[in-house]
Structure 1
């Protein structure tokens, strides 16, 4: 979609360049997806020269917000959960080579698979304000609702840190939609950690939910009750009651697999 109110593109851009009426530009697949009449300038982050992936000595990884889905899949696809989430886009190679990890997170769509991945692996996000101030927030707390995040005016997402313990842990993945190549209606990921099983529910709900339980069906049922019925998404990709049913069905399968 043409953003016919945009009069200037700043490239490369950094935190100090932001002013009201600006929008940060990554791959643009979300930014250009709908009208944005208040946007006057685009601040290009793809020209900032951030390394797509940076590996720490302990094996953990820092994913730049500008890392594309194709780069992520190519370099971290050996981890099943990363590969599954990359393929959950059901996108063409054109989208894969342009869409960014950070853009998918900032769009805050319930079906965003990079949200699912970052939350399920206990990711931490580095945010930078327009004055250069940095803060870190858990990935699980970043998306607050459909299309809403904790980002403040002028703040940008710089990177996503994934700990090695989560990357190398046992995981189980389930995804469902109305159609074979449709948008995710429920995407559920289970991960075994020192405290038991962490179950991440996305796509079915307006924001991510991380449920922890010890590993019994009784505990799982109790954990799922923490998701209010009103939080299940209602749109053309699935009704709330069906999404809730899928979530519970997949959660039971994941429990059986990880047990």
Structure 2
């Protein structure tokens, strides 16, 4: 779609692009959402791809993913053998409601900052206990837990002019055992629910991440694997207004699916039947 209100495109922003932020500006990375609908409030686009941030930086401390890393680049990444949770990287990419062509442009940061309930990069990074590095327009930097970033449907904690610079996934989370479940109304449709369970190697704990069925990501932690009743009660204790409603499912439907798939994840981690 043509954005006919745009009067300027900054092709070579400064290394700290937020310092020149004005009302009516927008960050341009993949642009897959930006160009999909009218944006009458925008006047200027700032092209982040020109900064050429390294898309993926693995190291002993874990994995850094730049905001401009494309879904294609993330999907193609081969994690070290001991990063057993690395299987969640391609699985989360496959949860996109988009074709492989869109993967070549769509970015990890764009999906996170859209802050939609079904955003699979949100699911991935919350489940893997990631931190987000945010750059403010005054030059300051803050690190926030991925769990705290999205606050509602299409809502997050970003201040005007603030930018997501990178995602930092710790190595200990990448070494966890995992199990996941996802439900869609059609084979390649938007996620109605997307759940991931993780467990420390050699331990009996459970960290359950619930997304897509809720307006913001939810994490429920257990020091040891709960029984079926305890798990069900923990899910049912979530506030009623956290459950999402759209054409892909009612809140009651999503609650039902979450209970069902959470129990399957619990059984997988109990039996060691992981994927």
Equivalent of 2:87, from 66, 80, 87?
A: 80
Written as runs of structure 1 = structure 2, the 5 A alignment for 1:66-145 is 66-76=68-78, 79-145=86-152
| Aligned-partner Cα distance in 2 for 1:145–1:52 | 27
TM-score normalised per structure 1: 0.95
Residue aligning to 1:24: 27
Within 5 Å, which residues of 2 pair with 1:126-205?
Answer: 126-193=133-200, 196-205=205-214
Q: Does 1:8 align with 2:18?
A: no
Among 209, 218, 231, the alignment partner of 1:209 is 218
Tell me which residue corresponds to 2:254: 243
CA-CA distance at 1:34 after TM superposition: 2.6
Kept after mapping to 2: 8 A contact 1:176/1:185: yes
Query: Of residues 34, 37, 61 in structure 2, which corresponds to 1:34?
Result: 37
Whether the aligned pair in 2 keeps the contact of 1:77 and 1:83 (CA below 8 Å) is no
RMSD over aligned CA atoms reads 1.5
The TM-score with structure 2 as length reference comes to 0.90
Q: Could you tell me which runs of 5 or more consecutive residues in structure 2 were left unpaired when the two chains were aligned.
A: 81-85, 271-275
CA distance in 1, matches of 2:180, 2:138: 40
* Alpha-carbon distance in 1 for matches of 2:115, 2:204: 28
State the distance in 2 between where 1:219 and 1:171 align.
20
| Whole-angstrom CA distance in 2 between matches of 1:243 and 1:121 | 23
C-alpha change, 1:157 and 1:163, in structure 2 (3 Å) is same
Whether the 8 Å CA contact 1:73–1:83 is kept in 2: the answer is: yes
Preserved contact between residue 212 and residue 223 of structure 1 (Cα < 8 Å):
no
Aligned pairs, number: 258
8 Å CA contact 1:89, 1:113 repeated in 2 = yes
Matched, 1:225 2:236: yes
| Cα distance, 1:77 vs structure 2 | 6.4
Structure 1 residue runs of 5 or longer lacking an equivalent are none
Q: Distance in 1 between matches of 2:4 and 2:246?
A: 29
